[in-house]
Structure 1
Amino acid sequence: MRIHMESLLFEVILNIALLVLVATLLSKVQLIQTIISQERRSGAGQVFLSVVFGAVIVLSVYTGIDMDGYNMNTRVIAAIAAGILGGPLVGMYASMIGAVYIYFFAGPAAFAMASAFSTVLFGLLGGGFYPYFQRGKWKYRDLFFLTCFAEICDLVIILRMVSPFSLALATVQKAGILMTLMNAAGILLFISSFNNIFIRQDIESSRQLQMASELGRRCIPLLGNGLEDEANMKELVSVLLEASGWTGVILTDRERILAWKQQPDDSGGEETIWPGELPGRKGKSPGRAQEEGLPELPDLDGIPEIGLAAMKKGELEIAYKVPKSSAWYEWMREYSMIAAPFMIEKEAIGCLIVWTKRQWVFRQSDVELLQNLVQIASAQIAMSELERQRLLRQQAEFKALQFQVNPHFLFNALNTISYVCRENADRARELLITLANYFRYNLNEGKYMVPMAGELEHVRNYLEIEKARFEDKLEVSYDLPEQMDIRIPTLILQPLVENAVRYGISPDGRRRVHISVQETEEAYQVSIRDQGRGFPQEVLDKFKKNEPFGRSIGLRNVNQRMKKAYGESFGLDIVSSPEGSCVTLRFLKEKEEEKERENSGN
């Protein structure tokens, strides 16, 4: 029976309207919303979507219009949408379901093979363009032309595979233009029905991002010492559990569980924190320690397999069901888990594992929340590690500079004592004791920051040896406050005093050294004066350029150490004239928290 064009157009519109109604209903189903919005789907999720869209393809064929033996329908819309919304696998499996139905149950044999083949092609086309159209960022013009192309392929397949050719040609002439334009327009309406999924997903992602930001604000202070602070790690899992709504949280480093916690269970058990919080309960399920016949738990230090896998791959892992081979199966068989590694320079240093009651799929927003959290935590841990490495490097540089000075002083000290030994053995023994005290001070002080009073005593020991050498030709005077409650880099003054003694020779042949300490509101200022001929200009020029030159080696080292300890503006201040020189250092007064950091770092 021939169908008039007006009636045919009306029937096609009804078919497209039915398909759009089905799409609208599907887009309201929470499970479908969750699966479609996921970037990584489980096998069960892929199968579920394949069955759903396969059923939609079957429906579109079942409600098709019979036109002289050819089933004119909207299967191209459902098949392409399956690939675009579900991905390559869903597109392929859903179209194969539709193809099987078409081949065995729909229409005459003349068109069965061609229609089944083109249906699979539609699904593959949609799946192939999935990366381009995914996450709701499709362009409707491109969808329109993609469907037109698919319909043209369908017409070509009919011409090539349907026999006799006259039947194929007549079908293409009658249905080709109408079906191409109507289905191309219909897919825009069908796909638009799913837009609300991605709109809600974007809103939920924004909410989760705000939550991640708030959690980051609360968690960052707890990561100041990396993953090594046990008390902070326990507080961290408590904060995460309180704000996230997850059933439980595990925090690990690469080797062991650092802390874990879960919400109270339905039986009224108490919330628990491990390890080391449940004396006498080892091997019992959380919140159920008083019940009988409970399964034995694995070693509390053993990281679940999903966490090990996440750290090995360096990416997020999802386990919708714990495998029976796992040591955690008896306890975790009612839960689904997600694990995300803490990454620093492409290397995993730990893992955050969360779990909830068993579910087919995780909401994409939950996955994004976990990813955002571990990224924030990884960045903070990396910054903490960089700061720790900076302090260690600074200490190492201080030590290296310090050891450049020690041999110089030792050489001069031994020369002085050797000179005194020839004239006064008792005095030489006293000087040896003084020298021993000097090196005992070095050996007993593991810190590179020492009290100023101790450093000045160190200088006195040095000058005591030098006085023995120069006798009355060396005059030393001090102007010191009673209280000097500050710490300064060790061996920072001795090289300057040594230079003053060695080169500060006045015209009358005497060496006069004056050491003064003045306190200001923010710093202590130490000045070392002599009455020599001053620094040669070329030495001062080299010094300003931080270049070694003759006698400026010791000064250069001290200058570098001062800048490393206090900043570029705290280098040595040198005033030189033919009547003498004055070298000034400024030491910032320390805050209590800085002192505590020094103590903990050494």
Structure 2
Amino acid sequence: MIHLLPLMLERVGIIVIIAFLLSQIKSFRQIIQTDRGVKGKWLLVAIFGAFGIVSNYTGIEIKQNALFDNTWLMDVDPDNAIASTRNLGVGIGGLLGGPFVGFGVGMIAGIHRYTLGGFTAGACAVSSILTGIVAGYIGKRYKKRHGITPWFAVGVGMAMETVQMLIILAFTKPFEKAWTLVEIIGVPMVIMNGLGILIFMYIIQSILREEERTRALQTHNAFMIADRTLPFFRRGLNKDSCMEVANIMLQLTEADAVAITNDHRVLAHIGAASDHHIPGKAFVTGLTKDVLNKGTVMTTRKKEEIFCFHDDCPLQAAVVLPLKVHEKTAGTLKMYFTNPEKLDRVEQELAEGLARLFSTQLELAEAELQSELLKNAEIKALQAQVHPHFLFNSINTISALCRTDIEKARKLLVELGIFFRSNLQGARQFIIPLEKELEYVRAYLSLEQARFPHKYHVSFRIEPGVEKALIPPFTIQPLVENAVLHAFSKIKEGGVVDIHVCTVGEGIHITVEDNGKGMTRGELEPLGKKTVKSSKGTGTAIYNISKRLEGIYNMKAAMHIHSKVNAGTKIEMIVPLKRSR
């Protein structure tokens, strides 16, 4: 029995070496790592069945209680038996693959053992099949609850090896011969098969741990790519944004080329085959058309299935994924490889995850665009409300002048026409140069002061160089209009309106101040927060300005109103500084 231990250790070493070599093969690792379908189960049956056959061939022949250290055992004398590591592969196959794999591996190893002969051939064949089935059921039930640990596998393997010894004793005749054999091989086979299972399971566990590390790295890469591509996808599917995204993906994935399309043409192609996969042109590969039509992920590891019509195309494998916006395929994301082996499960899962993230980003970009369009429409509507306010007052002024000075009225009508032509242009823009807004103010004042030439005086204090700064249209003119119509409603002369514009840090500071009648606290409180009823005009000027500042600058602009009864009103606005080119 003692002499058998080192020989059995050698056999275990052979199996462990084979297992280690297999663990370095990508296809074997993928079989171990993935959830196994029917094809995967058959592959496990083949692999672990081969382990059982190798174990039989490398078994140690035992004749009349003596050991024969043969190198390759092709047949066994009818009076002899063998000690082997056969149940090592059978047990692990069952634990990993379940009853189906266990039964398949047990059948292969058991039948092969039976063909070698020997007086224990039948008992060993039965025990191999039984070991596979039992290990499969135990592994299936235990895996769901706790997972298969190496030491649990050792316990199952040693228990099944013990059962094999009992089967040999129960079904082998004569009993005395069977008992003598079990005395020799029992303990060494139980111990060494347990040791072999322990080492084998640690190898399997290292593969699974590496999968976890790979998944963590994959998740990290996916988030990094998503973070770096988000600013570009927020612009939608266009050539510039897609070129940036494709370049980022080429740097952070194993792909040899990355392409992005919309539903009718290539928007970006970076990497291999760029000489004939040209952005802006129609699709070169038929695979892209299939994905657009079906809306499903398509993978190929054959050059012919890419359907590229360029004979020298280096692309040998591809994964093409649909980019969906509201369940409609708006384009595709394509990762190409010059070596089919590089398109492994990790790269495919990364691509699928990125396609889902990119689809979400495109949906968010469209939602942002719709929100921006809605906000723009609201701003346009608010701007439009200013026009009739000024128009009605201007017509009233010209109407009054028509009775006293027809020529002046004619000139004012011409100026009004010029003003409104510029005004309509301003209504199509969200921001205009300050000098343009000041033209509006001066045009308005020329109309108003024609009616009341001595009622008030307007001073302009404009910081040199600030005229090119951009501000929203209809910002200063309505404030001046409010001062003229409301602040000086009870005086005939002596009114002063001061317009001061200067830069403060990274902003423009605009002040419109008058020395009119001022407002009470109750009158001041709602200004800028809601429309205010007014006997003259619409009462919406300050509210409109406040809403437009909020919409255009997204809370980065501010308006402050200060007023005191019989002391005047001061309105200050601060907007971010941006100059026209």
Fold shared by both chains (TM-score > 0.5): yes
Question: Which residue of 567, 570, 579 maps to 1:582?
Answer: 570
When residues 404 and 508 of structure 1 are mapped into structure 2, their CA distance, relative to the original with a 3 A threshold, is closer
- Matches of 1:469 and 1:52 in 2, distance apart? 102
For residue 352 of structure 1, give the secondary structure of its aligned residue in structure 2.
strand
Match of 1:534 in 2: 518
1:342/1:375 contact within 8 Å kept: yes
Question: Which residue of 244, 250, 253 maps to 2:262?
Answer: 253
Moved more, 452-461 or 205-214: 205-214
1:307/1:353 contact within 8 Å kept: no
- Matches of 2:430 and 2:262 in 1, distance apart? 31
When residues 276 and 330 of structure 1 are mapped into structure 2, their CA distance, relative to the original with a 3 A threshold, is closer
2:258/2:336 contact within 8 Å kept: yes
- Matches of 1:345 and 1:79 in 2, distance apart? 50
Match of 1:275 in 2: 278
Which letter does structure 2 place at the counterpart of 1:438? F
Q: Give the CA RMSD over aligned residues.
A: 5.3
For residue 550 of structure 1, give the secondary structure of its aligned residue in structure 2.
coil
- Matches of 2:575 and 2:334 in 1, distance apart? 48
Q: CA deviation at 1:189?
A: 0.9
Match of 1:559 in 2: 546
Q: What is the TM-score of this pair, normalised by structure 1?
A: 0.69
For residue 586 of structure 1, give the secondary structure of its aligned residue in structure 2.
strand
For residue 272 of structure 1, give the secondary structure of its aligned residue in structure 2.
coil
Match of 2:110 in 1: 102
Question: Which residue of 485, 500, 512 maps to 2:483?
Answer: 500
Match of 1:289 in 2: none
Question: Which residue of 195, 198, 221 maps to 1:188?
Answer: 198
When residues 500 and 193 of structure 1 are mapped into structure 2, their CA distance, relative to the original with a 3 A threshold, is same
When residues 39 and 416 of structure 1 are mapped into structure 2, their CA distance, relative to the original with a 3 A threshold, is farther
- Matches of 1:466 and 1:367 in 2, distance apart? 72
Alignment of 1:38-57 (within 5 A): 39=34, 50-57=45-52
1:505/1:511 contact within 8 Å kept: no
Alignment of 1:47-446 (within 5 A): 50-60=45-55, 74-79=85-90, 81-82=92-93, 92=100, 96-103=104-111, 106=114, 108-109=121-122, 112=125, 115-116=128-129, 118-120=131-133, 122-123=135-136, 126=139, 139-144=149-154, 183-194=193-204, 197=207, 225-230=235-240, 233=242, 246-260=255-269, 263=272, 272=275, 274-275=277-278, 300-301=282-283, 304-305=286-287, 309=291, 317-321=298-302, 327-328=307-308, 335-340=316-321, 349-357=330-338, 359=340, 362-363=343-344, 366-367=347-348, 392-421=373-402, 426-445=407-426, 446=428
For residue 556 of structure 1, give the secondary structure of its aligned residue in structure 2.
helix
**What stretches of structure 1 of length at least 5 have no aligned partner?**
265-270, 278-298, 597-602
Question: Which residue of 19, 25, 37 maps to 1:23?
Answer: 19
When residues 321 and 327 of structure 1 are mapped into structure 2, their CA distance, relative to the original with a 3 A threshold, is closer
Moved more, 180-189 or 303-312: 303-312
- Matches of 1:345 and 1:141 in 2, distance apart? 50
1:53/1:94 contact within 8 Å kept: no
- Matches of 1:65 and 1:399 in 2, distance apart? 92
Match of 1:490 in 2: 473
- Matches of 1:442 and 1:104 in 2, distance apart? 95
Q: CA deviation at 1:60?
A: 3.6
- Matches of 1:508 and 1:234 in 2, distance apart? 65
For residue 572 of structure 1, give the secondary structure of its aligned residue in structure 2.
strand
Within the alignment, does 1:465 sit opposite 2:475 as a pair?
no
Moved more, 491-500 or 326-335: 326-335
The percentage of aligned residue pairs carrying the same residue is 25
Match of 2:433 in 1: 451
Q: What is the TM-score of this pair, normalised by structure 2?
A: 0.71
Q: CA deviation at 1:394?
A: 4.6
When residues 104 and 55 of structure 1 are mapped into structure 2, their CA distance, relative to the original with a 3 A threshold, is closer
Match of 1:296 in 2: none
Moved more, 463-472 or 63-72: 63-72
- Matches of 1:419 and 1:436 in 2, distance apart? 18
When residues 478 and 33 of structure 1 are mapped into structure 2, their CA distance, relative to the original with a 3 A threshold, is same
Q: CA deviation at 1:500?
A: 1.2
For residue 526 of structure 2, give the secondary structure of its aligned residue in structure 1.
helix
1:250/1:257 contact within 8 Å kept: yes
Q: CA deviation at 1:448?
A: 1.0
1:34/1:363 contact within 8 Å kept: no
1:110-137 deviations in Å (ceiling 9; x for gaps): 6756643542453566577778999xxx
What is the count of residue pairs matched by the alignment? Answer: 544
- Matches of 1:55 and 1:61 in 2, distance apart? 10
